[in-house]
């Protein structure tokens, strides 16, 4: 069964933020949010956020819980390099 996709946007501090609704779950555009911090290079904001050790710990946990093929040994090795 195909889930319904709905796109919309909200205004936050006079800036448009895109939202995608899939079924009953809303996904907010990270790029639109990052554009508020750096309109010239929002990808830099996202890169910095994604490379943060706490963020990496979160990705690793999510993968362990949701990906039966996740290589946790390799993930821990990479994580040690980030400390």
Same structural domain, 18 and 37: yes
- Check whether 53 has a pLDDT greater than 80: yes
pLDDT recorded at residue 3: 66
- The b/e string for 51-78 (b: 16+ C-beta within 10 A; e otherwise) is eeeeeeeeebeeeeeeeeeeeeeebeee
**CB contact set of 62 (below 8 Å; sequence gap of 6+):** none
Same structural domain, 65 and 31: no
Same structural domain, 59 and 36: no
Task: Domain of residue 83: give its range.
Answer: 52-83
pLDDT recorded at residue 11: 92
pLDDT band at 1 (very low <50, low <70, confident <90, very high): very low
Same structural domain, 56 and 83: yes
Same structural domain, 25 and 39: yes
Q: What's the domain count of the chain?
A: 2
Same structural domain, 34 and 62: no
Average pLDDT of span 59-76: 89
Same structural domain, 27 and 58: no
Average pLDDT of span 17-45: 93
């Amino acid at each position: 069964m195909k889930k319904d996709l709905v796109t919309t946007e909200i205004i936050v501090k006079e800036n448009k933020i895109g939202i995608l609704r899939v079924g009953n779950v809303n996904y907010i555009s990270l790029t639109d949010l990052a554009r508020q911090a750096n309109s010239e290079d929002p990808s830099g904001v996202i890169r910095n956020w994604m490379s943060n050790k706490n963020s990496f710990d979160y990705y690793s946990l999510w993968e362990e819980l949701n990906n039966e093929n996740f290589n946790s040994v390799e993930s821990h090795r990479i994580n040690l390099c980030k400390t």
